[in-house]
Amino acid sequence: MTEYTAITFAPVQGFIEKSRKLRDLYGASIVLSYLSSKLVESALSQGLEVISPGLPNLQKGMPNRILIKGKFERNDVEKVLLDEWKKVLVICREWIEENLGFPKDNYSWSQTEEQKGKQKGEWERWESYTWEIFWGHGNSVDRAMEDLETRKLKRGWTGINWMGESSSLTGTDAIAWHQLGRTLEKGEDPGRSLTPEEKDALELFYRRLSWLLDNPDYRVGKPHLSLQQLRDYEESKPEEIGKYIAPNERLSIPELVKRLVTYDAIADEIDMVKLKPTKNDPEFKDINRNAGYWTAWFMGDGDKVGDKLQILATRNPDNLEEGDRNLKTFTDLMRNWGKEFEKQSDSFTAGEMRVIYAGGDDFLGVLYSKESKNQENALKIKPSDAFEWLRKLPIYWEQLQKDIDDRLKLQFTFSVGFVWAGHQVPQRDILQHCREAEKRAKSLGRDRVTIRVVFNSGQYVQWTCPWDYLDILTKYRDRNQKTGAEANWNHIYSDWAQLKARHAIRLQTTENNPIVKDIALSLFDLYFDNAADRFRKQRKWVYLTGKIDDETIVKWLDDLIEIGWQLCRSSSI
């Protein structure tokens, strides 16, 4: 009997989202790819065939949905994953213990020799309870995938409780430091606050770690500085610290690990993909998020990938081999695409671009201004630059769409969340915005982009549009018949605002006043060359907005104008 195994694990989005720095994003994504690749490796070594992901030998960007022909026992899956994760944790922990200059017996955060097999320490708890593993099995690809989904409904987490202050990054989970998990003296309250001495010890831990990692090639093995020296050092060179860990950050164990694996010596020891593949690669710089510098983030995902896999798997019920082959072709195409897309760092000429991960059908990236020593001359990316780039994004998957259609007769599209964010919006929030935006693009019909502009206040405006109509924003024509970069968006923006203020255009239904679209549409026609009229004649409204009722249409226009004003107006106005 033919058998199939489907495997995945969690958290993925959550693991990536708990980020403060770009480095966290890379670290998280590298860890996830590493664990997936080890599962794939182990399956291959058992003589099993890996149907998906394609390119099983490429660790970077390895997605964590794994489909295998044959039976990969659940216990084996769990063992491989936990063993590999344990290896990562042990290497990180030992690196700290060996290099931070605290006596070995100062560490109470992992189990002692005597405790082995009896009682876990903090690190051992994270070894066991970081991941939820989901597994499915069946005699067809389809069944294996469904089995996995069914089992996933009950989840599989165990939470690690914590006392005292928590990570400064997520607000949950205990702060990792050498005294974490210390056995309590008799009568000592586990929930008490730290004594001043303990507070100093914790600060020293983070300052030493931060200092070492800022220049590990030179500092590892050198005599250790005292707390006062480290504080003075920060005072004298505030610009040069905190490349890996800011001295005031307080991280949990997994957060610490995400940072540490981006240090190449540690990555080498684990045999993990390095952030800087060769020593001479340009230094990894965080993005410029100084006052006034906005960044653009894009998170995208192929539409209904699971369904596509099912279609391919079940299309030829009498020819399973054919089904497997098609699946392989599909995932190979996807992963090749991801690999190529990841290289697209020079496609954004107005500033810098980085693809943080491209795992095949999903990707995350950022457009930003380069950090420069001389703040005044630093280039600022303009919202219109970011928008221009976004408009061209579909070019990158046109060939993929064509290949998938030619070879597999499948329509394949992407939904993207695009977030233009002010410098004060915390990074972990930006990622949540990205995810919500992407979700919205999907829920409004897929093959769409949701653009969300997030202000420093945390407020945002958003608009969702099918890719092929995104250029509607470029069709704007102001009262002086100017278009493109010349156009003055003030004209429509203020007209619209005036009409809203006078309730000629309303966005909310009150008892006696339903929303009516006529005036809104007329105004839109005036400024957008009768676009509304065309949409009506071509029966495009449902496609554009999802629904045809007046409220939906007026709100869509409101969002369009808001986003247009934010992204397309020239900054000189």
Residues that bind other proteins (CB under 8 A): 10-11, 14, 17, 125, 129, 140, 142-143, 150, 153-155, 157-166, 168, 170-174, 190-191, 424-426, 428-429, 432, 443, 456-459
Q: Report the nearest approach of other proteins to the CB of residue 559 (Å).
A: 17
- Nearest of 138, 63, 86, 562 to residue 342 by alpha carbon: 63
Q: Report the nearest approach of other proteins to the CB of residue 84 (Å).
A: 22
Q: Report the nearest approach of other proteins to the CB of residue 113 (Å).
A: 20
Give the strand pairing for 352-358 and 4-10.
unpaired
Our CB check for other proteins shows the closer of 11 and 394 to be 11
Q: Report the nearest approach of other proteins to the CB of residue 483 (Å).
A: 35
- Nearest of 556, 340, 516, 297 to residue 427 by alpha carbon: 297
Rounded CA-CA distance 49/40 in Å is 9
Our CB check for other proteins shows the closer of 441 and 487 to be 441
Beta bridge partners of 67: 6, 52
Q: At what angle do helices 22-45 and 427-443 cross, to 10 degrees?
A: 60
Give the strand pairing for 414-421 and 448-454.
parallel
Q: Report the nearest approach of other proteins to the CB of residue 426 (Å).
A: 4
Cβ neighbors of 10 (< 8 A, separation 6 or more) are 131, 132, 134, 155, 157
Contact 438, 414 (CB under 8 A): no
Our CB check for other proteins shows the closer of 173 and 342 to be 173
Q: Report the nearest approach of other proteins to the CB of residue 57 (Å).
A: 32
Rounded CA-CA distance 97/109 in Å is 10
Q: Angle CA(434)–CA(328)–CA(79) in degrees, nearest 5?
A: 75
Our CB check for other proteins shows the closer of 289 and 506 to be 289
What residue type is 197 in one-letter code? Answer: E
Our CB check for other proteins shows the closer of 147 and 342 to be 147
Cα dihedral: 309, 314, 316, 318 (round 10):
140
Q: Report the nearest approach of other proteins to the CB of residue 189 (Å).
A: 9
Contact 566, 557 (CB under 8 A): no
Which residue's entry shows tokens 């629904």? 547
Tokens of 536: 């009506």
Q: Report the nearest approach of other proteins to the CB of residue 162 (Å).
A: 4
Our CB check for other proteins shows the closer of 47 and 159 to be 159
Our CB check for other proteins shows the closer of 136 and 564 to be 136
Our CB check for other proteins shows the closer of 226 and 443 to be 443
Rounded CA-CA distance 549/514 in Å is 11
Q: Report the nearest approach of other proteins to the CB of residue 454 (Å).
A: 9
Our CB check for other proteins shows the closer of 13 and 474 to be 13
Contact 493, 568 (CB under 8 A): no
Q: Report the nearest approach of other proteins to the CB of residue 278 (Å).
A: 34
Maximum Cα interatomic distance, the chain, rounded to a whole number of Å? 82
Our CB check for other proteins shows the closer of 101 and 138 to be 138
Which residue's entry shows tokens 């397309």? 568
Our CB check for other proteins shows the closer of 174 and 393 to be 174
Please write down the long-range contacts of 192-201, taking CB distance under 8 Å and 24 or more positions apart: 193/164, 194/164, 194/165, 200/227, 201/177
Cα dihedral: 53, 59, 63, 64 (round 10):
100
Q: Report the nearest approach of other proteins to the CB of residue 393 (Å).
A: 25
